């Protein structure tokens, strides 16, 4: 079955550390996205990529970095520059067209300890 | 910029009908989507309206009026499992891929 897999499900980070969240999809979607969700809040876009080796900043890109070396993979690194990284991180993918709905992964819950 | 407004919470009883409204302001517009998210889970796609009118999918319907920059999600025959957060989202026309901008979400509580 096609889908999108995020790992790990839970992640604990010490202050000052960089951590990388994995996102892999086998849906053959061209576009991939990273969103951040805080408790009781909507989804805010961090980064997105419409094609391999290209990506754009979203609304809250500061303190994050991404790469898109393969169509199937879009890892997100939360750097030490991100001052408030505790949140629920959601990865999504979609066809690059106007009507395709997003498919989301099950998320990674990151906590700074 | 883009912004979407939807009520923060709605409460209804099992078997009832509930409507969740969404108004939006965007620099461009491709369509209005709705997503459901159960607590701690992944959002799942419910519906998409690219043109004015009503789209029906089982117990759920979604409506769009582009002239009013307004849409709604209608849930009929409510069940306890419908308790979740519902997000409206619009595509941003500023790029070909169409990144989605999400509203803050409406938490629906279905009571027995």
Question: Which residues in B lie closer than 8 A to residue A97 (C-beta atoms)?
Answer: 98
Q: What percent of chain A has pLDDT over 70?
A: 96
Residue-wise pLDDT for A14-40, tens only, equals 888 999 999 999 999 999 999 999 987
Which pLDDT score, from 0 to 100, does residue B96 have? 53
CA distance B5 to chain A (A): 11
Written in H, E and C, the secondary structure of chain B is CCEEECCCEEEEECCCCEEEEEEEECCCCCCEEEEEECCCCCCEEEEEECCCEEEEECCEEEEEECCCCEEEEEECCCCHHHCEEEEEEEECCCCCCCCEEECCCEEEEEEC
Give residue B95's pLDDT.
56
Model confidence at B94: pLDDT above 70? no
Cβ neighbours of B87 in A, within 8 Å: 42-43
Amino acid A24: pLDDT: 98
A90 vs chain B: nearest CA distance in angstroms? 8
- Arithmetic mean of pLDDT, A58-62: 94
B93 versus A17: the higher-pLDDT residue is: A17
Average pLDDT over residues B64-89: 96
Would you call B41 and A33 a contact, using CB atoms and an 8 Å cutoff?
no
Give the bridge partners for B2, in sequence order.
none
Q: In terms of residues, how long is chain A? A: 113
Q: Name the one residue in this structure whose structure tokens are 């690059």.
A: A96
Which segments of chain A does DSSP mark as H helices, in order?
A: none
pLDDT value for A40? 79
pLDDT band at B93 (very low <50, low <70, confident <90, very high): low
Distance (Å) from the C-alpha of residue B88 to the closest C-alpha of chain A?
A: 10
pLDDT, position B13: 97
Q: Quick check: B107 and B38 in contact, CB under 8 A?
A: no
Asked if A2 and A27 touch (Cβ cutoff 8 Å), the reply is yes
- Segment A80-88 shows an average pLDDT of 91
pLDDT digits (tens, 9 = 90+) for B16-74: 999 999 999 887 777 899 999 998 899 999 999 989 999 998 999 999 999 999 999 99
pLDDT over 90 at A83, yes or no? no
Higher-pLDDT residue of A99 and B89 is: B89
With contacts defined as CB-CB under 8 Å, which chain B residues touch A25? none
Cβ burial of B43 (10 Å; 0-12, 13-18, 19+) is buried
d(CA B100, CA A102): 9
Which of A25, A43, A49 to mutate against chain B (most B CBs within 10 Å)?
A43
For residue A109, the distance in angstroms to the closest alpha carbon of chain B comes to 9
Determine the Cα–Cα distance for residues A83 and A64; give it in Å rounded to an integer.
11
Residue A8: cis peptide before it, omega within 30 degrees of 0? yes
Task: Please indicate whether, in this complex, the C-beta atoms of A107 and B103 are within 8 angstroms of each other.
Answer: no
pLDDT (0 to 100) of residue B97: 55
Q: Using CA coordinates, name the residue in chain B closest to A10.
A: B40
- Whether A99 has a pLDDT exceeding 70, the answer reads no
pLDDT, average across residues A53-69? 95
């Amino acid at each position: 079955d096609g889908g999108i897999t995020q790992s790990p499900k839970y992640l604990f980070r010490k202050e000052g550390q960089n951590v990388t969240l994995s996102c892999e999809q086998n849906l053959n979607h061209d576009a991939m996205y990273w969103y951040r969700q805080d408790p009781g809040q909507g989804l805010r876009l961090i980064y997105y990529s419409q094609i391999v080796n290209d990506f754009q900043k979203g609304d809250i890109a500061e303190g994050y970095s991404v790469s898109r070396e393969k169509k199937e993979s879009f890892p997100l690194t939360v750097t030490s520059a991100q001052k408030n990284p505790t949140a629920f991180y959601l990865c999504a993918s979609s066809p690059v067209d106007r009507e395709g709905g997003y498919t989301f992964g099950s998320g990674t819950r990151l906590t700074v300890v | 910029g883009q912004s979407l407004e939807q009520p923060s919470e709605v409460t209804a009883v099992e078997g009832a009908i509930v409507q969740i409204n969404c108004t939006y302001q965007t620099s461009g517009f491709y369509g209005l989507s709705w997503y459901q998210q159960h607590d701690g889970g992944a959002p799942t796609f419910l519906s998409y309206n690219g043109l004015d009118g009503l789209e029906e999918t089982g117990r759920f319907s979604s409506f769009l009026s582009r002239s009013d920059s307004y849409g709604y999600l209608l849930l009929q025959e409510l069940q306890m499992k419908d308790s979740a957060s519902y997000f409206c989202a619009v595509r941003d026309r500023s790029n070909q891929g169409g990144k989605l901008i999400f509203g803050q979400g409406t938490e629906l509580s279905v009571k027995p």
